[in-house]
Structure 1
Amino acid sequence: MKFLIKGIKNTELICIYTQAKTPEDAKTNAYDLGITPLEIKEIYTNNIFTQFLPINQQELISNFKQIAMMIEAALPIDEILLHCIASCKQTKIRLMYEDILKNLKIGLSLSEAFKKHNHIIGEMSLSMIQAGQNTGNLSKIFNILAQDMQDYQKDISHFKKKLFYPLIVLLSLILAFGILNAMVIPEFILLFEEMGIELPLNTKILITIGDFFQKWGFLSGCILIGSAILLKYLTKKSKKLNKTFHQIFLKIPIVGNIILYRDLQRSLFALHISQKSGLDIKSSLKNAYDCITNLHIKNIFQQIIFQIEKGSNLTQALHYVNLFDSMTQGLLLAGEQSGNLDTMLQISSLHYKELYTEKIDKFTQYIEPSMTLLIGILVMWFALAILMPMWDMNNITL
């Protein structure tokens, strides 16, 4: 087994790894090395399921805050990473820090070591770490990244909270539908057949849907899951297909604007940090480009880089692609003319952040009543499908 030992050697706090059969053997190894152990923690090795686990964003946020504070306290980066490894609960994140530490020891820079794990931290974080490394302002960068991830998680949490109650009610209705179709509707069918009465259309539709799911429900579910997996595989393999889907997403009302505003906010913020760090405009634009997640927006942004390479200034390049609104273009023009481009980039980033937050709030305002309306329609349909046959029976009896 592998253990992480935190201890004191020559009045200094150090962390080391050791192989041992038990914690007691690990403690013995520590004493043999002249270390007084303070904490011994078993490190669980990777397994086949680790790569499929979702990233614990809260743990990543805590780690980034921890890194920022330790850099501020002037601790060496290898010691900081050892502290992160010791505090990590999720194996996937711990393995990331272990790999980063290993790459630092062979001479890679911090941004190069993080680059191998951009699928975990994201392109924006990678670009920002590189900018912070160039300016020696890593503490501030990690704080900014932690805050950005925290804001994003709050948006997701707010969205889930809005959907929780309607989804629970909807699932309850589906369960009720299954019970009705399995226990109540068959009795109606037998009764109506005996009396020679034709079932109402609503009841027939309910029965047809129920029969379909009884006979083909499992197969339909397998086909849907298989289709989703196939589609995900095809979009990974085909950049053209993936780009088409990304373009379609941008055309969806409200959702498209949410994607657009978030990408523009992130790209402008990365551009602001890069310019403030003293990077040239081409390198800054490359960092901003890497922060964009939507492939269609990425393709348009690439034209900005192309225009800059042809000799245009930033304002001319932005005007050429018509991606940003007139307010942003005006701010950046003023920034270029006054020499305060980084400040104007920050203001523009905040402008798009406000637009993004506004659209998120608008979307959640619409989705909750829409779900409630859908549930009301389903309840009415179920009620009519059950009650209409009873009314027909009463009419015949009278």
Structure 2
Amino acid sequence: MATYGAQPESAQQASGISSIATGNQENNSGIFDDLFNSQPSPRKLKVPQKDLLVFFRQLAVILQSGVPLAQGLLLIAENMTNQRFATCVQHIAARLSAGEELSLSLMQYPKVFEPLAVGLIEAGEAGGILEQVLDRVAQLLEERAKIRGQIIGAMVYPMIVLVLATTVSLGLLIFIVPRFQVMFEDMGAELPALTSFMLDLSKAITTLGFAIGAPTTIFALVALFKRYYSTYKGRLVIDKLILKIPLFGDLILRSEMASM
């Protein structure tokens, strides 16, 4: 099984990454002491998928160059623009220097590193193929990002049409239909059922009760939906319904399959 804690002689002779990493090792103790006292909350930290993709790619390249894992993590953290994620990576490096396995360190951040990635990395550590596994994790994240991009692209046009249709309909009911109502009342003619319904609907949505009741109802429905979806049965029912939606269901299924 490959060992990732000690630096090989070939890496010590290399310029570039290895020389920088050696310099970092001399100052590790002071950094690590601070990190254990200032680490971000493991249960709250979230990281964008694009940052994770870059992280795993860089880590695989650094390991292939012969740099020890803990030093490689510090090198990556130094060049990160996401400071919270950088602090997380530095803390992981500190745990590795204390003798902990990478997979166990990643488990401390369940909102950042999902179980699938952690499981693959654990298998890579056991089999001595951590570099290949890290590259594979990056590939999985990239495939997922592409599919999610397709889902978002497919949803943009229908959402724009829906928003425009809703806006135009509300505008007609609030500003235009009331003018016709005055005209019809002056004429005194009997109105068709559909026209009467539109006039009544216009009256309803222009009242104070609708202005207060509609947002309240929407908020309550969203809260109930989230509560129901948080249960196992609710998640199962809703996910099945979502997967049956034409086009979107297939894209979502592909997105989930890409992460397996």
The alpha-carbon deviation at position 227 of structure 1 amounts to 4.2
In structure 2, what is the Cα distance between the partners aligned to 1:103 and 1:97? 10
Indicate the structure with greater strand content: 1
Q: 1:150 aligns with which of 142, 146, 149?
A: 142
- Identical-pair percentage: 19
In structure 1, what is the Cα distance between the partners aligned to 2:130 and 2:83? 25
CA deviation vs aligned residue, 1:48-99 (integer Å, no higher than 9, x gap): 9x948x6311111111111111111111112221122223233443333133
In structure 2, what is the Cα distance between the partners aligned to 1:223 and 1:171? 19
The answer for the alignment partner of 2:19 in structure 1 is: 12
Q: The residue matched to 1:148 in structure 2 has which SS?
A: helix
User: Cα 1:208–1:135, aligned 2, differ >3 Å: closer, same or farther?
Assistant: farther
**Is 2:218 the counterpart of 1:224?**
yes
Within a 5 Å distance, the mapping from 1:71-150 to structure 2 comes to 71-150=63-142
In structure 1, what is the Cα distance between the partners aligned to 2:203 and 2:229? 35
**Is 2:233 the counterpart of 1:244?**
yes
**Is 2:161 the counterpart of 1:169?**
yes
Q: The residue matched to 2:104 in structure 1 has which SS?
A: helix
Q: The residue matched to 2:20 in structure 1 has which SS?
A: strand
Relative to the length of structure 1, the TM-score reads: 0.49
The answer for the alignment partner of 1:378 in structure 2 is: none
In structure 2, what is the Cα distance between the partners aligned to 1:168 and 1:211? 27
The answer for the alignment partner of 2:55 in structure 1 is: 63
Partner amino acid, structure 2, of 1:225: F
Partner amino acid, structure 1, of 2:233: T
User: Cα 1:139–1:247, aligned 2, differ >3 Å: closer, same or farther?
Assistant: same
Within a 5 Å distance, the mapping from 1:1-398 to structure 2 comes to 12-14=19-21, 51=44, 55-214=47-206, 215-229=209-223, 231-232=225-226, 236=230, 242-249=231-238, 251-252=240-241, 254=244
Aligned length: 225
In structure 2, what is the Cα distance between the partners aligned to 1:139 and 1:210? 64
Q: Which runs of 5+ in 2 are unaligned?
A: 1-14, 28-37
Contact 1:111–1:126 under 8 Å retained in 2: yes
Contact 2:40–2:88 under 8 Å retained in 1: no
In structure 1, what is the Cα distance between the partners aligned to 2:196 and 2:220? 30
CA deviation vs aligned residue, 1:304-330 (integer Å, no higher than 9, x gap): xxxxxxxxxxxxxxxxxxxxxxxxxxx
Further displaced range: 70-79 or 80-89: 80-89
User: Cα 1:161–1:71, aligned 2, differ >3 Å: closer, same or farther?
Assistant: same
In structure 2, what is the Cα distance between the partners aligned to 1:84 and 1:110? 15
CA deviation vs aligned residue, 1:366-389 (integer Å, no higher than 9, x gap): xxxxxxxxxxxxxxxxxxxxxxxx
The alpha-carbon deviation at position 182 of structure 1 amounts to 2.0
Q: Which runs of 5+ in 1 are unaligned?
A: 1-7, 17-32, 34-44, 237-241, 268-398
User: Cα 1:125–1:67, aligned 2, differ >3 Å: closer, same or farther?
Assistant: same
Relative to the length of structure 2, the TM-score reads: 0.71
In structure 2, what is the Cα distance between the partners aligned to 1:202 and 1:47? 59
The alpha-carbon deviation at position 154 of structure 1 amounts to 1.0
The alpha-carbon deviation at position 161 of structure 1 amounts to 0.9
The answer for the alignment partner of 1:367 in structure 2 is: none
Structure with the larger RCO, 1 or 2 (CA within 8 Å, 6+ apart): 2
Partner amino acid, structure 2, of 1:62: V
In structure 2, what is the Cα distance between the partners aligned to 1:100 and 1:126? 13
Q: The residue matched to 1:246 in structure 2 has which SS?
A: helix
User: Cα 1:113–1:209, aligned 2, differ >3 Å: closer, same or farther?
Assistant: farther
